[in-house]
Amino acid sequence: MLVVMQAHATAEDIRAVCAKIETLGYRAHAIPGAERTAIGVTGNQGEVEVGTLEEMAGVQEVIRVTKPYKLVSRDMKVENTVITFSGSEATFGGPGLAIVAGPCAIENRDQAFAIAERVQRAGAQFFRGGAYKPRTSPYSFQGLGEEALEIMARVRESFGMKIVTEAIDHESLELVEQYADVIQIGARNMQNFSLLKRAGRAHRPVLLKRGMSATLEELLMAAEYVMSEGNYQVILCERGMRTFADHTRNTLDLSLIPAVQRLSHLPIIVDPSHGTGKRNKVTPLSRAAVAVGADGLIIEVHHEPDRALSDGMQSLYPDQFDELMVQVKQIAPVVGRRVPVIGEAAAAANRKGSTRLTIGANS
């Protein structure tokens, strides 16, 4: 259910309606829009008694939401959600494309810095790197854990990029929340509802990857899990789905982008690295992702892909990433986007050698 407030409703009106909702045994989610605030009501299995709510000061109307998702819906919030970061021009969902790049896994400090230096220079505003790797085999490299998180915190220090990294359970989420700027939930955990709820109580934006065989509705419902716990900063990500096709590792489904944008106010980015699993497909599909209207890209880059501990076959060489960014910058304006440059001054200053380690400084 959705309580739409009048344009001139006061903060006090909103607080009162929320309090009333809680009194009735539900949960209130006040989400301010450009013109008016909407208050989502969740926790109701069946009908909510709306009578009293409709009569309250500042309430314009009470709408029954028949879709299974509520908080993720454009019914709840007409404007796009824009996720911002303190001290950075980078956003998810704003006019600037979010460019996230880095290695599949953090292997050591030198590797991370070598790659970070290249992707930042080419235009990435976010640095990705795996600390906890969900691997098909228990005997494969599972990531460096907290050590990797520390390395990424230093990358942020030095290059001004914000950090995106995956959490695979409650324990790792705890640490990722401390060190990183965006908590990634991987495709295999898209319906790990316990982890989603935990992410919903975190104080960081959540990058939620579509499961390998998830429908659009299941993806939105997974985001709803996060939002229903109070964390409204969710970024969706298409990363390819499992089909019979064997010329790519997964089938990248770019039609998901406009489909999500119709139904939801949440930003959605594309991962052509996992989405194709083949280096030579990453650049053309990245171009296509920007052209289709995605809010950003997340791309694996490695300076020595043949020696990567995981996913080398799909990682771009830094030179290829440079070229890709040139093409992305040309296509972006056609769809009314641009690639923001993260503060040159700040970056330069950072590079000069500030050694202070600020963990999760932008929370």
Residues 272-301 that bind its own copies (CB under 8 A): 275-276, 280-281, 284-285, 287-293
- Choice between 43 and 87, CB closer to its own copies: 43
Query: Looking at 86, 244, 306, 353, which residue binds its own copies (CB under 8 A)?
Result: 244
For its own copies, the binding residue among 64, 139, 345, 353 (CB under 8 A) is: 139
Residues in contact with its own copies, total (CB under 8 A)?
75
Question: CB of residue 343 vs its own copies: minimum separation in angstroms?
Answer: 27
Among 79-87, 112-120, 148-156, 256-264, the segment contacting its own copies (CB under 8 A): 256-264
Query: CA angle, 313 as apex, 133 and 147 as ends, to 5°?
Result: 30
Residue in 13, 117, 218, 304 binding its own copies, rule: CB under 8 A:
218
The closest alpha carbon to 346, from 113, 114, 86, belongs to: 86
Judged by CB under 8 A, the residue of 34, 45, 352, 355 near its own copies is 45
Kindly tell me which residue out of 4, 63, 82, 331 binds its own copies, with binding defined by CB under 8 A.
331
Q: How far is 62 from 50, CA to CA, in rounded Å?
A: 7
247 binds its own copies (CB under 8 A): yes
Q: By CB under 8 A, what part of segment 147-186 binds its own copies? A: 168-172
User: Is residue 346 a contact residue for its own copies (CB under 8 A)?
Assistant: no
- Cβ neighbours of residue 24 closer than 8 Å, sequence gap 6 or more: 48, 49
List 228, 233, 264, 315, residue binding its own copies (CB under 8 A): 228
Q: Is 344 in the site for its own copies (CB under 8 A)?
A: no
Beta carbon of residue 10, minimum distance to its own copies (angstroms, whole number): 29
Please give the residues from 52 up to 91 whose contact with its own copies meets the rule CB under 8 A.
68-70
Which of 154, 248, 313, 322 lies at the binding interface for its own copies (CB under 8 A)? Answer: 248
d(CA 16, CA 53): 10
Whole-angstrom distance, CA of residue 212 vs CA of residue 243: 9
Stretch near its own copies under the rule CB under 8 A, chosen from 29-37, 210-218, 317-325, 354-362: 210-218
| Least distance CB 16 / its own copies (angstroms) | 24
How near is the Cβ of 302 to its own copies at its closest, in Å? 19
